[in-house]
Amino acid sequence: MTKNLHVTIDKDSGFCFGVVYAIDMAEEILEEEGYLYCLGDIVHNDEEVARLKAKGLRIIGHEDFIQLKDEKVLIRAHGEAPETYKTALENNITLIDASCPVVLKLQNRIKTSHDNDEKILIFGKHGHAEVIGLQGQTNNEALVFQDITELDNKELPASFTLYSQTTKSVSKFYEIKEELIRRGYEIKANDTICRQVSNRYEDLGDFARQYDKIVFVSGKKSSNGKVLYDVCKQANPQSYFVSDVAEIDVTQFNTNETVGICGATSTPMWLMKEVKQALEQL
């Protein structure tokens, strides 16, 4: 017997413009030349990466990049540290720079702060590609933290400049700013969070409340996906995280329920459509 689920995809979910830009660039070159190197996963979504690999995208790490010569290499939306551009010049590598404009603007602001001898703190995820690129603007001198508790036993300068990874929560950023001021530090705070991402928080909560169940589709590596999934879960406790169709648990759904599908800024629309189709066939 069919479950007769009524499934709707959130029209605001799916790739942000930075990811669309990088993927469009990659597909154009793949069509012309048959292959293209990309420094790191082009997007934090294994299914989309697999689709592009099948078209000839070759994902490489920094250790491979250093060995490469006379090739074209795509820089993804997350951006890169200055060292990468230096290596490209030395190895005659043509960089196809698809760094997100929001990230580039942030990199420039951090570099200016560093050049002005400001002490810099970055609220961001340790080891995240974007954060590595941001730290690179400061010769890796900036202090990165992903939770304020990490600063509890750290000796911080009396005054510093605070920045944020572009995909962090706006409210969390301001909570951190207020707490640091309360602790007596003099802070110059720069809200550098991408509004295309942060606007989704509010809209997503509204979307999640409209349905019996929510299926949130995202790659497990997406930090933005984790934040947005939490937003769904808070608005609707009956929210489930899946990376692909295979992870759908039939037992979680009852007959005639309404189901909302949404995803991270790194979730392709084609994948959400596949999930919708699978749910409709239950």
The residue whose two tokens read 């069509």 is 31
Are 196 and 17 in contact by the 8 Å Cβ rule? The answer is: yes
Question: Which residues, including other chains, have CB under 8 Å from residue 245's CB and lie 6 or more apart?
Answer: 274, 275, 278
Are 143 and 154 in contact by the 8 Å Cβ rule? The answer is: yes
Q: What angle do CA 110, 63, 19 make, to 5 degrees?
A: 55
CA torsion 109→113→119→123, rounded to 10°?
0
Mutual angle of helices 101-115 and 129-136, in 10-degree steps: 30
130 is catalytic: yes
Are 51 and 134 in contact by the 8 Å Cβ rule? The answer is: no
* Both structure tokens of 88: 């490209």
Out of 80, 118, 130, 280, the active site residue is 130
Are 167 and 224 in contact by the 8 Å Cβ rule? The answer is: yes
Active site residues: 130
